[in-house]
């Protein structure tokens, strides 16, 4: 019987991250040589085992919690030590902290016993330097032999990576070089304590990403909400996002977000762009860094092996070729197999400009904008039918190249798989939005070509309307896609929700899409399903055909809110907040698409990344929808259309950034909104708007005025 490689599960593991380093262990704090447990750095597992024992026995797990933004603390009991009564008197506290390029762990033995305590502390270690794709595919790995240094440290090396481990006061036992251990004999007086430490440091000169040298690249707003779930979600999400920040080693001032722990902690075009777009209410620095990092790697030539084309934006970046154990997927280190990242790059540049990205930062990116639009015109429509399609021509790349990129993601209503080339619905929306956004930027900066792109958008909308609308069980609906023969793939999916707000649909069409997305078949109480329960391909734990993705729900929620479909948006907002409770407010990449009444809490998808960039950033998009802030800084206006009010309750956010300046937005329980801190000449629009309160004058100006 052929061996079946199973992707390891990680829903019950405890993770910490300081990108590009992350650590995953079990609920007791152990890092066991199984599955995906370990310490990872830039696509390699740099420690595959760190199991703690006291007198040869594992402490009994008691509790765990965060220890700062990049750490975790585990508390266990050594009940065989200390006083003989029923109350435990010896605790084992294990604190794991990530630092740039490594990890430090403290083991603290604390006794409240009335008698002295003697014990031996062991930490069994291993390092396999396994590439992340081998771990992901469930393949077998082999420990690397450790070298013991003259001062007692351990070193593992291979594939250009060097891992060094030191331990204060420990005896290093290396009877087996592939299974070394640390040992500390300890003696505690009555009510005494001792702290032991070991430290891991990684050197990887070939890493394609780095830990940023600068501090957080966004504002930290002060948020108050009647629904406390919103503030808890924001607090946890912003803490997680700090651990996902990455920098370009060639331009360390440019910061972006790695996609997620553990599989995708690197530059991902689509994920990094969407996450930066969601974070715009907190400033434009992250967007600017993301745009520049991707612009440096924008395609310049046609290369079928990598998917590169002139003007095209990168899909993902790795230090080595990414090959899964079954041999079906083999991606080059720099891979361009994405149909949507190029349009999303254009949309992010436009949105960042509207939020206040300075003109002197926009201008250097305009040649890249023109190149991206050039890709849309010259390379995105291979058959010339006026629609954007994709096909993998290598036989070992991604067979699907939209955000739902698993091999079975594009299915007809009866469950049949569609055959490529594939024309995805949401991609046409992104293309329309990018064309209109690109035209606005070209006009604003005095560059030619804007009329061409507005005409392109008009033709695309006509073509979409003629080919995508089909009859479904709930009335007319846009198809998920068109297949090789231009037949509509007629399943009902969340993809159509991404069309909201792109401009591709008429107001009546948007209303019909909103109705479709609020059917019981699409919403089960914890967000938006990726596929309707009526479709033959539906499964609540299918990666893209029935599960619920956090970012997907948030994008559709935001589109519904901005288009005025308040109740539909509120239903999805409540679903996300209810799911967040089940995951201790760390919303994962995705979770099960079961109905809310199954367990009363969201069901984990067992291999989902957590933390994950666009899932964490979705909390900020939810805050934007709640406060309803939609700025156009070049036009000197802010539109207000908040979700907060009678249903969601009051929400206020101090420290949002509009045009680089801190503003406060407050929405009361009636839905009336006010904004403080805008320039005096800004105009507020929208049904909830009241007169803006100007920004306070600088102290020196106030003093001069007082004297006068």
Dist CA 679 CA 704 (whole Å): 20
Q: At residue 213, does pLDDT exceed 80? A: yes
pLDDT at position 243: 97
DSSP codes joined into one string, 333-370: SEE---SSHHHHHHHHHHHHHHHT--HHHHGGGHHHHH
Q: At residue 465, does pLDDT exceed 80? A: yes
User: What six digits make up the tokens of 525?
Assistant: 């109480």
pLDDT at position 707: 28
Per-residue confidence band for 694, with pLDDT thresholds at 50, 70 and 90: low
Q: At residue 617, does pLDDT exceed 80? A: yes
pLDDT at position 150: 80
Do 602 and 592 contact (CB within 8 A), yes or no? yes
Per-residue confidence band for 217, with pLDDT thresholds at 50, 70 and 90: confident
Per DSSP, 540 falls in state T
Per DSSP, 105 falls in state E
Do 532 and 538 contact (CB within 8 A), yes or no? yes
Question: Which of 326-330, 448-452, 500-504, 542-546 is least confident?
Answer: 326-330
Q: At residue 157, does pLDDT exceed 70? A: yes
Do 362 and 353 contact (CB within 8 A), yes or no? yes
Dist CA 498 CA 488 (whole Å): 18
What pLDDT, in 10s, does the model give residues 263-311? 999 999 999 999 999 999 999 999 999 999 999 999 999 999 999 999 9
Q: At residue 697, does pLDDT exceed 50? A: no
Q: What's the number of CA atoms in the CB half-sphere (13 Å) around residue 542?
A: 24
pLDDT at position 699: 40
pLDDT at position 702: 33
Rounded to the nearest 10°, the torsion over CA 627, 630, 631, 635 is: -140
What pLDDT, in 10s, does the model give residues 298-347? 999 999 999 999 999 999 999 999 998 776 899 999 999 999 999 999 99
Dist CA 702 CA 687 (whole Å): 34
pLDDT at position 100: 95
- Mean pLDDT for the stretch of residues 596-608: 95
Arithmetic mean of pLDDT over the chain: 95
Enter the pTM of the model: 0.95
User: What six digits make up the tokens of 449?
Assistant: 């070509």
Name 654's bridge partners.
Answer: 222, 664
DSSP codes joined into one string, 551-575: HHHHHHHHHHHHHT-HHHHHHHHHH
User: What six digits make up the tokens of 101?
Assistant: 């390029």
pLDDT at position 27: 97
pLDDT at position 152: 84
CB-count exposure of residue 298 (10 Å: 0-12, 13-18, 19+): buried
Q: Which domains does the chain have, with CATH numbers?
A: 14-203 (2.70.98.40), 381-507 (no CATH), 632-707 (no CATH)
The alpha-helical segments, DSSP class H, found in 249-363 are 269-278, 285-296, 341-355, 359-362
Name 655's bridge partners.
Answer: none
pLDDT at position 701: 36
Q: At residue 706, does pLDDT exceed 60? A: no
* Sign of the dihedral through C-alpha 381, 385, 390, 395: negative
* Sign of the dihedral through C-alpha 444, 447, 448, 449: negative
Do 681 and 664 contact (CB within 8 A), yes or no? no
DSSP codes joined into one string, 185-199: EEEE-TT-EEEEEEE
- Mean pLDDT for the stretch of residues 660-688: 94
What pLDDT, in 10s, does the model give residues 41-56? 999 999 999 999 999 9
Dist CA 410 CA 402 (whole Å): 10
Question: Which of 71-80, 364-373, 696-705 is least confident?
Answer: 696-705
User: What are the phi and psi torsion angles at 148 (to 5°)?
Assistant: -100, 125
Dist CA 447 CA 142 (whole Å): 57
The number of angstroms, rounded, from the C-alpha of 393 to the middle of its chain's C-alpha atoms is 28
Nearest to 234 by CA among 472, 577, 565: 577
The number of angstroms, rounded, from the C-alpha of 486 to the middle of its chain's C-alpha atoms is 33
Name 15's bridge partners.
Answer: 24
pLDDT at position 524: 87
What pLDDT, in 10s, does the model give residues 233-271? 999 999 999 999 999 999 999 999 999 999 999 999 999
Dist CA 36 CA 51 (whole Å): 15
**Could you give the C-alpha distances from 39 to 43, 415, 617, in angstroms and in order?**
10, 40, 24
Which bin fits 55, alpha (ψ -120 to 50), beta or left (φ > 0)? left
- Mean pLDDT for the stretch of residues 481-492: 99
Q: At residue 708, does pLDDT exceed 50? A: no
What pLDDT, in 10s, does the model give residues 128-145? 999 999 999 998 999 999
């Amino acid at each position: 019987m052929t061996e079946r490689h199973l992707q390891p599960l990680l829903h019950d593991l405890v993770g910490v991250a300081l990108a590009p380093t992350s650590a995953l262990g079990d609920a007791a704090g152990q890092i066991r040589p199984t599955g995906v447990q370990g310490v990872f750095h830039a696509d390699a597992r740099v420690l595959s085992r760190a199991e703690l024992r006291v007198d040869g026995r594992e402490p009994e797990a008691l509790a765990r919690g965060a220890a700062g933004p990049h750490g975790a603390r585990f508390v266990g009991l050594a009940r065989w030590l200390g006083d003989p009564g029923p109350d435990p008197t010896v605790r084992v506290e294990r604190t794991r902290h990530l630092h740039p390029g490594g990890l430090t762990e403290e083991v603290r033995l604390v006794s409240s016993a009335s008698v002295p305590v003697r014990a031996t502390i062991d930490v069994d270690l291993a390092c396999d330097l396994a590439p992340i794709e081998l771990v992901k595919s469930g393949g077998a790995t082999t420990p690397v032999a450790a070298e013991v240094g003259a001062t007692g440290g351990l070193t593992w090396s291979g594939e250009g990576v060097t891992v060094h481990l030191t331990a204060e006061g420990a005896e290093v036992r290396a009877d087996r070089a592939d299974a070394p251990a640390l040992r500390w004999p300890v003696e505690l007086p009555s009510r005494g304590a001792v702290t032991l430490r070991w430290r891991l440091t990684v050197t990887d000169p070939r890493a394609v990403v780095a830990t940023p040298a600068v501090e957080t690249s966004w504002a930290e707003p002060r948020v108050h909400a009647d629904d406390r779930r919103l503030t808890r979600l924001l607090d946890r999400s912003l803490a997680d996002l700090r651990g996902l920040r990455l920098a370009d080693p060639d331009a360390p001032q440019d910061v972006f977000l790695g996609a997620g722990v553990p599989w995708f902690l690197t530059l991902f075009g689509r994920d990094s762009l969407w996450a930066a777009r969601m974070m715009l209410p907190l400033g434009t620095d992250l967007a600017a860094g993301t745009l520049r990092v991707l612009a440096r790697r924008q395609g310049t030539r046609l290369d079928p092996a990598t998917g590169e084309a002139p003007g095209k934006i990168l899909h993902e970046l790795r230090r080595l070729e990414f090959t899964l154990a079954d041999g079906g997927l083999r991606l080059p280190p720099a891979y361009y197999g994405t149909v949507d990242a190029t349009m999303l790059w254009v949309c992010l540049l436009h949105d960042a400009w509207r939020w206040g990205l300075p003109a002197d930062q926009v201008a250097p990116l305009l040649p890249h904008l023109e190149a991206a639009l050039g890709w849309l015109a010259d390379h995105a429509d291979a058959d010339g039918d006026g629609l954007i399609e994709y096909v993998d021509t290598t036989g070992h790349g991604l067979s699907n190249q939209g955000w739902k990129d698993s091999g079975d993601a594009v299915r007809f209503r009866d469950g049949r798989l569609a055959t490529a080339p594939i024309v995805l619905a949401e991609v046409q929306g992104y293309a329309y939005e990018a064309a209109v956004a690109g035209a606005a930027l070209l006009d604003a900066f005095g560059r030619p070509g804007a009329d061409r792109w507005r005409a392109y958008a008009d033709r695309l909308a006509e073509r979409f309307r003629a080919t995508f609308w089909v009859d479904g069980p709930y009335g007319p609906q846009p198809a998920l896609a068109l297949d090789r023969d231009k037949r509509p793939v007629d399943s009902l999916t969340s993809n159509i929700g991404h069309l909201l707000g792109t401009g591709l649909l008429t107001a009546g069409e948007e209303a019909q899409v909103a109705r479709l997305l609020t059917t019981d078949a699409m919403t089960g109480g914890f967000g938006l399903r990726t596929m309707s329960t009526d479709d033959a391909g539906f499964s609540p734990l299918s990666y893209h055909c029935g599960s619920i993705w956090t970012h997907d729900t948030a994008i559709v929620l935001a589109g519904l809110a901005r288009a005025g479909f308040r109740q539909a948006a509120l239903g999805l907002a409540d679903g996300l907040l209810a799911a967040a409770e089940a995951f201790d407010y760390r919303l994962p990449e995705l979770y099960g698409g079961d109905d809310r009444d199954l367990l009363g809490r969201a069901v984990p998808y067992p291999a989902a990344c957590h933390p994950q960039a666009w899932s964490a950033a979705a909390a900020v998009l939810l805050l934007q929808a709640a406060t309803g802030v939609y700025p156009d800084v070049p036009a000197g206006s802010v539109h207000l259309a908040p979700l907060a009010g009678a249903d969601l309750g009051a929400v206020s956010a101090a420290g949002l950034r509009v045009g680089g300046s801190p503003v406060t937005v407050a929405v009361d329980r009636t839905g009336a909104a006010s904004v403080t801190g805008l320039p005096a000449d800004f105009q507020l629009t929208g049904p909830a708007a009241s007169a803006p309160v100007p920004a306070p004058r600088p102290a020196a100006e106030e003093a001069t005025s007082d004297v006068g």
